[in-house]
Chains A and B, each alone.
Chain A
Amino acid sequence: MNGCAITVAGANLMALGSGALWWPQERILTVSDLHLGKSERIARRGGAMLPPFDTEETLRRLEAEIDALDPDQVICLGDSFDDLLAADAIAQEARPRLAILQAGRDWVWVEGNHDPGPVDFGGTHLREVHHGPLTFRHIAEQATGEVSGHYHPKARIVLRGRPIVRSCFVFDEHRLILPAFGTYTGGLWTSHAAISGLVGKGAQVVLTGKVATRLPMPR
C-alpha cells in the first residue's frame, strides 16, 4: 500500500499517496473536498469552460481506492460537491457510479461550506462524525482528535535546489488536515497562517504522489 503510517490522538492511520485516509483497525476510508461538478459550476457562473472531465476523474480515483481497500465505511469530509446545483447537474453521470460504491457499506456525507445541505445520492448526511478518539468535520475547530479538510494544504519542498510542489496531509499528535481529493482543486501553502496556526511545533506533512512521503511541515 502506498501510504505512511501516522498516529493522531492515539489512532493508527494510513495517509495514502492518493490523498485518502485509511483507518485499518476500523476499516474507515476518508476523502475530503471532492468538489464534484466544479467545472460545471465555473461554466454556469460565466467563467472559463474547463475540460468537463473532473467528475469522471475524481470518481475513477475514488473507485480505485474503494476497490483496493473494501472499506466498511466511507466518510466524505465535506465539499463533496462544488455546490448544491452542481450536485444536481452531475447526478446523471455520478448517481449510478456512487450507488455501486455505496452498496454493502456505510456512507457518510459530512457537510461542507460548499455543500451545506442534503444531496440526493444515498448515504447519511451529518454535520460531523464521532468515532473513537476521532472527530470528523469539514472545517477544523482546533479540537483534539480532529480530522478535517477544507484548506487543501499543499507543500513546497526543495530537493537540493530542485523545487517540487505536492498536495499533502498536515498533522501533529492531536489533529489532522486532509488534502483535497478532487481533481480540480487549488491549494493553500502549509506556511499560510490558516494552516500553520492549527498545528503545533512538531507538525509534519505526508506528501501525496507515487510514493507518499513524510516530512517536517514547511513553514
Chain B
Amino acid sequence: MSALPQIFDDWFASRGWTLHPHQEEMYSGRENAAQLLVAPTGGGKTLAGFLPTLAELADGTHRGLHTLYISPLKALAADIKRNLMTPIVDMALPIRVEDRTGDTSAHAKRRQRADPPHILLTTPESLALMVSYPDSDRIFKGLSRVIVDEIHALSESKRGDQLMLALSRLQALCPGLRRVGLSATVEDVPAMGRYLAAHPASPQIIHADPGPAPDIAMLRTAELPPWSGGGAAYAIPAILEEVKRHRTTLIFHNTRAQAEIFFHNLWLANDEALPIGIHHGSLSREQRAKVEMAMTEGRLRAIVCTGSLDLGIDWGDVDLVIQVGAPKNVKRLVQRIGRANHRYNAPSKARLVPANRFEVVECVAALDAMRAGELDGERPDRGPRDVLCQHILVRACVGPFEARDLYEEVRTAGHYADLTCAEFDNCLDFVATGGYALRAYDQWQRLKEIAPQTYQLRDPRAATRIRMNLGTIMDTDTLKVRLRGRRGGAPLGEVEEGFAATLTPGDTFLIGGEVVRYEGLREMTVEVSRNPTKKPKVATFMGTKFATSTQLSHRILDMFEARDFARLPEHTADWLRLQAQVSQLPVRNRLLIESFPHDGREQLCVYGFAGRNAMQTLGLMLTKRMEEEGLAPMGFVTTDYALLIWGLDAVTDPAPLLDRAALMAGFDRWLAGNAVMKRTFKTSATIAGLIERNLPGLRKSGRQATISSDLLYDVLTKHDPDHLMLDITREEATKGLVDFGRIEEMLDRVEGVDFVRLERVTPLAAPLFLEVGRVPVHGEAEERLLASQAAEALVVAGLT
C-alpha cells in the first residue's frame, strides 16, 4: 500500500479518489536517480510527478528550494501552479510554490534569488539564466528533485539540449538530485530514458494505462474539399455543427497563417455567435492570456489554435479535437487527440479535416498508421555544439572553471555522452578566443586562462551581455505589428520579417482574427490600420511548416501503387484516376517528373515525396544545376511531396540533372553557397554567441547596429573555411533544414525517372501553384528584373 502520509490518504478519500497504479509506482520508486513516466494527457501525470515532493515537504522542515519543475511553455507553468494549489490549500501544507518565467517581474525574480520557494516552476530559458549566476550554488542549495514536463516535446529541440546541459550543472551542484520526466507516448521509450537520466545512470520507466482506443475518423462534409489550398473553408458549416454538439472543441491547425484564415472564415459563418477564440504563438501575450483565461473559465465553445496549445495544458473540458490539415506525422496526431477528454478511461474523440484533396490521401494514410500503432519518431542523436558553446559561456558567467571538470560534467547529458575531448576543446577555444586560424585577438580574449586549463571571463562585465543573449529560440526575424498612431499600445502580434518585406502599403492581411491594412514599416515595427470590411488581399503570413514523415510518405506512395482508393472519398479517388489518365501516379521505386508550360513560364514538377525540407534542398540543388546548364531557372516552391521549378527555358531531359554522382559531387560545393546554410549559420552563430541579438543601450538609439550574418558567413568561408562555426553550420544544416538524409532515402528507393512532357498543368501539380514560400533563384534573372523595374519606377516618378 501507499506509504503516503496519513493526511494524503485522508485527502484522497475525501475526494473519493484512489491512486492510479502509475502514481503509486512513481511514489514508491521516488528514491531512484531518474524516473520516466509515459502517460497520456490527463492520466494524472502532474500529480504523479509532484506527489513525492508534496509528501517530503509536508512536515515543514525543509529549508529552501526542494523541487524544480520545468515545462516548455510559460502558460504550462502557470497552469500547474493552479493545479498544485488545490491539494496544498486543502491539506494546509506548509509549501510555497512560485513560478519564474520571462513574464516574472524583476522584483519578484530578485526576491526568489534571495529566498527561493520550495517549489519553483520555470522554463529552460529561465533556468539557464539562473544557472549562470555566481550565487547559483546558494540558490539551488537543498534542491532534491527536478521534474521535466512534456519531455518528449523538449527532446526534439535545442531547448531540450540547453535544459539537459543546465541539469548537468545542477547535478554537479546537488549530487543527490533526482530527475523525473513526464512524457506523452513516444516510439523509443528507452532512448527517452537515456535522454533524461544523468549518463550513465538508467532510469526507472513507468507506463500508465493508455486508456481506451480513441474514436477518430475523417469529418464528413457535404462540400467537397478544394483542389488546393490550406484554409479548409469548405468544412466550416460541418465544423460549426460539431462545435454546437460538443462542450468545448479544440480546432488544431499546422500553421499560424492557416489558423488565422480559418478563424476569420469561421467567425463570418458563426451566425449563432458561439464564443470562439484563437490562440497561436504570433499573438501578443495579452491576447493569448485573454483566451487562456476564457478557456479556463469554460466560457469558450471552441478555440482555433496551433502548436502553442499542443502541450498538456489542462484548460477546461475539451470533448472534441479537430485537426484541420494533414497531421504530417503520426506521433503529433496521437498527442493532439490526447487533448480531448481528460477524464481517465473515457475514449478521446477526434475528427480529421483535410484541407485539400491531397491531404485527404495523407489523412487516410495517417489513420492507417495510427491504427497499426506505428509512431514515427526521429530524434537527433548527438547534442548540437552551438548549444554547448552557449553552455560554456553560461558556465563562465558563474566564475572560474576547470576545463576537464566541465567536459566531464557536460558528458552526463545524454546527447553529449560521446562528445570527444577534441570537440569540447574546439568549442572552448571558440568561446575563449574566437577559434580563428589567424590569432588576431591575443590581447582580447573572451575567456582568459588564469591557470593551466582554468578559465574565467576576461571582463566580468561581459556576463551581462552574455545573459542578454542566452536562449535557443530564434525570434529575431519577426516584427511587431501595431496600429498606426498608437505607438505605446500593445502590439497586435508579430509577423515574419520576410513576410513584412513583401507588403506594399494598402495590402490587407489577417492577424489575431481581424483584417488589417498595411500602412508602412516604421523602424522595426509594422504599422497597420483596422480594416474590418475588406477581404484580406494578402492571404497569409508564413509560419512553421512541418515535413511529412518518411513513414507517411511511403504509405501514400504504396496506396498509389496499389491503386488502393477504396478508403478515399469518391472525389479524391476521381482526381487521382484523372492524374493517372493524363500523366502518371508517383510510386515508391520510380521518380515522376512532369514538364509543362504555365503562366508564361516553363514549369518542371518533381514528385520526390521526401518531405518539405528535403524537397527544398533538392530545389536549391536542381536550380543550381539548371543555372549551370543555362536553363535560367527563376524560382521554385516545395510541398512535402513535390518540387515545382519555373524558369525561362523548358527542361527536355531531367535525368542528367538528377544524376546521383553529379548531385553528390556538387553537394559540398553547393552547400557552402546556399541560402539555407546562411540561415542555419545565423541561428547557430547566434546560439553559440558569435552574433549578439541584444546589446546594452541599443534599443534606445533605434539604430540597427547588428552586422549582417550573411556577411560574416561569406567572410568566414573565404578566410577560414575550416572554422568551427562553419563545421557546426554544415552539421546542423545537413540534419535540419537541408535534410540531406531524406534526399538520399529518395535516391535509394528510386530505380529510374519517368519523364512526362505535357501541354498544361496536371491534376497533381495544380495545388503547387497556390503554395506560399516561393524561393527565388538569385541568378542573372534578378539583375534583369531589377533593371527593368528600376527603369519603370523612374519613369513613373518622372525622374528619368
Residues of A near any B CB (own CB < 8 A): 39-40, 43-54, 56-57, 89, 156-165, 183-189, 191-192, 202, 204, 207, 210-211, 213-216
B503 to chain A: closest residue by CB:
A158
In contact, A210 and B783 (Cβ under 8 angstroms): yes
Chain B residues near A185 (CB-CB < 8 A): 707
In contact, B716 and A160 (Cβ under 8 angstroms): no
Cβ-defined partner of A214 (8 Å) among B435, B461, B790: B790
Check A43/B797 contact, CB under 8 A, given A184-B711, A188-B704: no
In contact, A163 and B797 (Cβ under 8 angstroms): no
Interface positions, chain B 434-448, Cβ under 8 Å from A, are 434-436, 438, 440-441, 443-446
23 A-B contacts (beta carbon < 8 Å) = A39-B440, A46-B459, A49-B430, A49-B436, A50-B707, A51-B712, A51-B716, A52-B436, A53-B718, A53-B719, A56-B719, A89-B443, A159-B785, A160-B785, A163-B498, A163-B502, A164-B782, A183-B715, A186-B707, A188-B703, A192-B702, A204-B799, A213-B790
Q: Which of B142-150, B337-345, B519-527, B585-593 lies on the face that meets chain A?
A: B519-527
Which 8 A-B pairs rank lowest in CB-CB distance, beginning with the nearest? A49-B434, A163-B501, A52-B440, A46-B462, A46-B459, A43-B444, A53-B719, A216-B797
Chain A residues near B718 (CB-CB < 8 A): 53
- CB of B138 within 8 Å of the partner chain: no
Distance in Å: Cβ of A12 to nearest Cβ of chain B: 17
- CB of B433 within 8 Å of the partner chain: yes
In contact, B793 and A215 (Cβ under 8 angstroms): yes
In contact, A191 and B785 (Cβ under 8 angstroms): no
Please, how many angstroms separate the alpha-carbon atoms of A46 and B397 in the complex? 12
In contact, B690 and A48 (Cβ under 8 angstroms): yes
In contact, B441 and A48 (Cβ under 8 angstroms): no
In contact, A51 and B719 (Cβ under 8 angstroms): yes
Cβ-defined partner of B708 (8 Å) among A156, A186, A213, A215: A186
Which of B458, B501, B794 has the largest count of A CB atoms less than 10 A from its CB? B501
Chain B residues near A192 (CB-CB < 8 A): 523, 702
Please, how many angstroms separate the alpha-carbon atoms of A164 and B787 in the complex? 13
Distance in Å: Cβ of A39 to nearest Cβ of chain B: 8
Chain A residues near B705 (CB-CB < 8 A): 186
Distance in Å: Cβ of A111 to nearest Cβ of chain B: 20
Assuming A184-B712, A213-B787, what are 7 further A-B pairs, CB within 8 angstroms? A46-B465, A53-B718, A53-B719, A89-B443, A159-B782, A189-B523, A213-B790
- CB of B504 within 8 Å of the partner chain: yes
Chain A residues near B523 (CB-CB < 8 A): 189, 192
Please, how many angstroms separate the alpha-carbon atoms of A175 and B420 in the complex? 59
B776 to chain A: closest residue by CB:
A162
In contact, B711 and A50 (Cβ under 8 angstroms): no
Interface positions, chain B 490-510, Cβ under 8 Å from A, are 498, 501-502, 504
In contact, B715 and A187 (Cβ under 8 angstroms): no
Check A53/B501 contact, CB under 8 A, given A188-B703, A191-B522: no
Distance in Å: Cβ of B74 to nearest Cβ of chain A: 28
Chain A residues near B793 (CB-CB < 8 A): 215-216
Which of B441, B446, B502, B787 has the largest count of A CB atoms less than 10 A from its CB? B441
Please, how many angstroms separate the alpha-carbon atoms of A160 and B782 in the complex? 11
Residues of B near any A CB (own CB < 8 A): 430, 433-436, 438, 440-441, 443-446, 457-459, 461-462, 465, 498, 501-502, 504, 520-523, 689-692, 695, 702-708, 711-712, 715-716, 718-720, 723, 774, 776, 782-783, 785-787, 789-790, 793-794, 797, 799
Distance in Å: Cβ of B693 to nearest Cβ of chain A: 11
Chain A residues near B459 (CB-CB < 8 A): 45-46
B703 to chain A: closest residue by CB:
A188
In contact, A49 and B433 (Cβ under 8 angstroms): yes
Distance in Å: Cβ of A165 to nearest Cβ of chain B: 8
A202 to chain B: closest residue by CB:
B799
Distance in Å: Cβ of A78 to nearest Cβ of chain B: 16
Please, how many angstroms separate the alpha-carbon atoms of A157 and B776 in the complex? 14
Please, how many angstroms separate the alpha-carbon atoms of A164 and B789 in the complex? 13
B708 to chain A: closest residue by CB:
A186
In contact, B434 and A52 (Cβ under 8 angstroms): yes
Check A49/B704 contact, CB under 8 A, given A54-B715, A183-B715, A192-B523: no
In contact, A48 and B691 (Cβ under 8 angstroms): yes
In contact, B787 and A211 (Cβ under 8 angstroms): yes
Chain B residues near A56 (CB-CB < 8 A): 719
In contact, A156 and B501 (Cβ under 8 angstroms): yes
In contact, B708 and A51 (Cβ under 8 angstroms): no
Chain B residues near A164 (CB-CB < 8 A): 782, 786
In contact, B776 and A57 (Cβ under 8 angstroms): no
Distance in Å: Cβ of A37 to nearest Cβ of chain B: 11
Please, how many angstroms separate the alpha-carbon atoms of A204 and B794 in the complex? 9
Distance in Å: Cβ of A20 to nearest Cβ of chain B: 18
Please, how many angstroms separate the alpha-carbon atoms of A57 and B438 in the complex? 14
Chain A residues near B799 (CB-CB < 8 A): 202, 204, 216
In contact, A43 and B502 (Cβ under 8 angstroms): no
Please, how many angstroms separate the alpha-carbon atoms of A158 and B459 in the complex? 44
Check A213/B440 contact, CB under 8 A, given A50-B690, A185-B707: no
Chain A residues near B782 (CB-CB < 8 A): 159, 162, 164
B523 to chain A: closest residue by CB:
A192
In contact, B434 and A213 (Cβ under 8 angstroms): no
In contact, B786 and A211 (Cβ under 8 angstroms): yes
Please, how many angstroms separate the alpha-carbon atoms of A155 and B514 in the complex? 30
A45 to chain B: closest residue by CB:
B459
Distance in Å: Cβ of B724 to nearest Cβ of chain A: 11
Please, how many angstroms separate the alpha-carbon atoms of A159 and B788 in the complex? 10
A204 to chain B: closest residue by CB:
B799
Please, how many angstroms separate the alpha-carbon atoms of A40 and B443 in the complex? 10
Please, how many angstroms separate the alpha-carbon atoms of A204 and B707 in the complex? 25
In contact, A43 and B434 (Cβ under 8 angstroms): yes
B788 to chain A: closest residue by CB:
A159
B466 to chain A: closest residue by CB:
A46
In contact, A215 and B715 (Cβ under 8 angstroms): no
In contact, A184 and B707 (Cβ under 8 angstroms): yes
In contact, A216 and B715 (Cβ under 8 angstroms): no
Chain B residues near A39 (CB-CB < 8 A): 440
Cβ-defined partner of A51 (8 Å) among B461, B706, B715, B785: B715
Check A40/B444 contact, CB under 8 A, given A159-B785, A216-B794: yes
In contact, B776 and A49 (Cβ under 8 angstroms): no
Chain A residues near B695 (CB-CB < 8 A): 47
Check A46/B711 contact, CB under 8 A, given A51-B719, A162-B776: no
Check A52/B441 contact, CB under 8 A, given A183-B715, A191-B521: yes
In contact, B704 and A53 (Cβ under 8 angstroms): no
In contact, A161 and B502 (Cβ under 8 angstroms): yes
A184 to chain B: closest residue by CB:
B707
Cβ-defined partner of B723 (8 Å) among A46, A51, A89, A215: A51
In contact, A211 and B783 (Cβ under 8 angstroms): yes
Please, how many angstroms separate the alpha-carbon atoms of A50 and B709 in the complex? 11
Chain A residues near B691 (CB-CB < 8 A): 48
Cβ-defined partner of B504 (8 Å) among A52, A158, A187, A210: A158
In contact, A49 and B690 (Cβ under 8 angstroms): yes
Chain B residues near A163 (CB-CB < 8 A): 498, 501-502
In contact, B502 and A215 (Cβ under 8 angstroms): no
In contact, B785 and A53 (Cβ under 8 angstroms): no
Please, how many angstroms separate the alpha-carbon atoms of A116 and B467 in the complex? 32
In contact, A48 and B704 (Cβ under 8 angstroms): no
Distance in Å: Cβ of B344 to nearest Cβ of chain A: 51
Check A215/B436 contact, CB under 8 A, given A47-B465, A186-B705, A186-B706: no
In contact, B461 and A46 (Cβ under 8 angstroms): yes
Distance in Å: Cβ of B769 to nearest Cβ of chain A: 14
Please, how many angstroms separate the alpha-carbon atoms of A158 and B194 in the complex? 49
Chain A residues near B790 (CB-CB < 8 A): 213-215
In contact, B446 and A46 (Cβ under 8 angstroms): yes
Please, how many angstroms separate the alpha-carbon atoms of A184 and B692 in the complex? 14
Which of A43, A51, A216 has the largest count of B CB atoms less than 10 A from its CB? A51
Cβ-defined partner of A159 (8 Å) among B690, B702, B716, B789: B789
B775 to chain A: closest residue by CB:
A162
Please, how many angstroms separate the alpha-carbon atoms of A29 and B430 in the complex? 39
Please, how many angstroms separate the alpha-carbon atoms of A186 and B691 in the complex? 13
Distance in Å: Cβ of A183 to nearest Cβ of chain B: 7
